[in-house]
Amino acid sequence: MHGIILAAVLISTYLMAIAKRMPALIRSFRYQSFCLFLSTFIIALAERRPGLYIIAALIFALKVCLIPYLLYRIIGRIKVKQDIGLFINPQMSLFCALVFTYLSWLVAGYLSAPEGYPKTEMLTAAFFMVSQGMFLMIFRKTALAQIIGLLTMENGLFLLASAVSGGMPFFVEIAVFFDVFMSVLIMGFFVYRINNLFTHIDVHKLSRLKR
């Protein structure tokens, strides 16, 4: 059962690689977070830790509902064209994602224990998500796509933590959630301001001085 969820996480992350428009990217982030929620919920059921239930509920509330909603609102508000600005076209991105998967599988093979934690498949998915998030931050032009990249990295780190030690301590987790939520709020506001000021959100044009 857990394997199916991990495969779904992988597939939703590949969906991010081929997304060409902002709504598609947000939708795939939502799928990814939902899979993460399911994974956490299943671990919570298996290990009967009440803290994990709360964390799963928080994932659902924040990453599946609230953050995608905020991002949708921002793209509705700024009314720029919804292209996310690709440096590398979808096919090449997909190919890069494949290479990342392979590399993270290699790394996970070195790190994983033969039995018990950390499991190879979870480590593979976690490393892959982190590298894919970094990829999105580097190779997409618009600020919103880079926010999604950051959130994907955060999701990957969460999965990494639960792969290595069955989850971070409860209070650390809560703090991280509020951190993420606040950062999305602030970055969303920031994107909105950038758009008002410059009439676009392409971060590569920001390095030029405004006259």
Which residues of this protein are in contact with other proteins, per CB under 8 A? 3-4, 6-7, 10-11, 14-15, 18, 20, 90-91, 94, 97-98, 101, 105, 120-121, 124
17 or 70: whose CB is closer to other proteins? Answer: 17
Phi then psi dihedrals of residue 83, to 5 deg:
-60, 140
CB of residue 65 vs other proteins: minimum separation in angstroms? Answer: 22
Concatenate the DSSP letters of all residues of the chain into one string. Answer: -HHHHHHHHHHHHHHHHH--BHHHHHHHHHHHHHHHHHHHHHHHHHHT-HHHHHHHHHHIIIIIIIHHHHHHHHHHHH----B--BSS-HHHHHHHHHHHHHHHHHHHHHH--SSSSSPHHHHHHHHHHHHHHHHHHHHB-BHHHHHHHHHHHHHHHHHHHHHHHSS--HHHHHHHHHHHHHHHHHHHHHHHHHHHHHSS-BGGGTTSPP-
18 or 42: whose CB is closer to other proteins? Answer: 18
CB of residue 91 vs other proteins: minimum separation in angstroms? Answer: 5
CB of residue 195 vs other proteins: minimum separation in angstroms? Answer: 27
26 or 55: whose CB is closer to other proteins? Answer: 26
CB of residue 73 vs other proteins: minimum separation in angstroms? Answer: 23
27 or 200: whose CB is closer to other proteins? Answer: 27
126 or 194: whose CB is closer to other proteins? Answer: 126
CB of residue 7 vs other proteins: minimum separation in angstroms? Answer: 5
